Structure formats: C-alpha cells, structure tokens
Amino acid sequence: MKIQLRMAATAAALLLAAAMLPANAAPITYTLSGVTASFTFPTSAVVTLTGNFTFDPATDILTNPDITQTTTPSSADLFSTNPESFPTVETAASNLIAVISANDFDAMNITFTTALSSAPTPVSEVLIASTLSFCESNCFSASVTGAAIPTSEPAGLALLGGALGLFLLMRWGGKPASPPTCPDRPAGV
C-alpha cells in the first residue's frame, strides 16, 4: 500500500511540474479594476474602463472582451458613443490588448506595464482611435490608474492542491498503529 501511495504522489508531482510549464498555461480571465485614463488633448476628459477579458499568456490569444468605457464629462468628444462597449478583438500581445467598439467606429488599445500573467498587471497607457470624434488621428492618455486582476484559477493551482492532498494522504496512511494499552498497567511499562 505504501509503494502505491508513493507512486501516486510521484505521478502527481510530475503532473504538477508539467502543468506549470508556460506551454501548458490555461487562458486567464481578467477584470479591469479601478482603470481610469486621463486625456488632455484634444480635450480634457477622464475615461473609466470596466469589464473583463480572457487572455492566454502562452499563445497571446485574446477572447471574450467585455469592456465598457464611460467618459467624463460626457460632452468630451473622444468616442462616437458614451458609454460604449468594446466586444470585438482586434489584436493582442503579451502586454497589450486591442478591442473594437460594437458600432465599429472606435478602437482602443490598452497597454500594460508588464506581460499579462497570473498576477495583477497595472495599466500603463490607453490609446483611442475613432472615426467619428476628435480622436480620428489617435488620442494617447496623459496618465492612467488601475490594473487587470486575474479572476480565474490557473489549472496549476488545482493540481497543486491535488498533489498536496496526496502527500497528506500518504503521510496519514503511512503512520503505524499505536500498540494497544492495558487498562491495568500504566503506559510505557
């Protein structure tokens, strides 16, 4: 029985190691948290971004963007519509996602300080391109706050939990039984 448990623990450790390799990374869903971009040209405005997207760090594939922008003041003509949703993928790279608005008149690039990973990643720049606003020739943010926060569990964490469970099971199953004690004798005699 002990040999079988050790073999199972070894197999779990090998699976865990294989799952943690970048080539086996699973897509991660991110939520935009506290993301605001201040613009000073061609007009003074603050754009707030909310929503989420799914990105695979191993393949740089962006899927399921569900991002909404709201501009303050609403009279700032940075986008063709305010608020506006961006559900279409344009392109992606390790530290950039580019999305297109639902009406196809606006595009937005969100750049991150580092490559997207299983850790929160701060936003470093927002670029707007619009065919029906002041940003026809691109508007760059003057300052940005907020980050993309991973909200889905990477597959490696589940495997880590399984390996830990097997290790504990092996430790629990490997303890020898206590010798019986006689009620008439004190213990250890």
Q: Whole-number mean pLDDT of the chain?
A: 81
- Out of 75-79, 88-92, 162-166, give the one with best mean pLDDT: 88-92
Predicted local distance difference test score (pLDDT) of residue 133: 79
Predicted local distance difference test score (pLDDT) of residue 23: 45
Residue 179 carries which DSSP code? P
- More confident: 137 or 189: 137
- As a whole number of angstroms, the distance between CA 113 and CA 178 comes to 58
Asked whether the beta carbons of 2 and 176 are under 8 A apart, the reply is no
Least reliable range by pLDDT among 15-19, 77-81, 124-128, 168-172: 15-19
Beta-carbon contacts of residue 18 (< 8 Å; ≥ 6 apart): 24
Mean local confidence (pLDDT), 66-80: 92
Domain boundaries of the chain, sorted by first residue: 2-21+155-173, 27-150
Backbone angles phi, psi at 69, to 5 degrees: -110, 145
- As a whole number of angstroms, the distance between CA 33 and CA 49 comes to 8
Mean local confidence (pLDDT), 111-119: 95
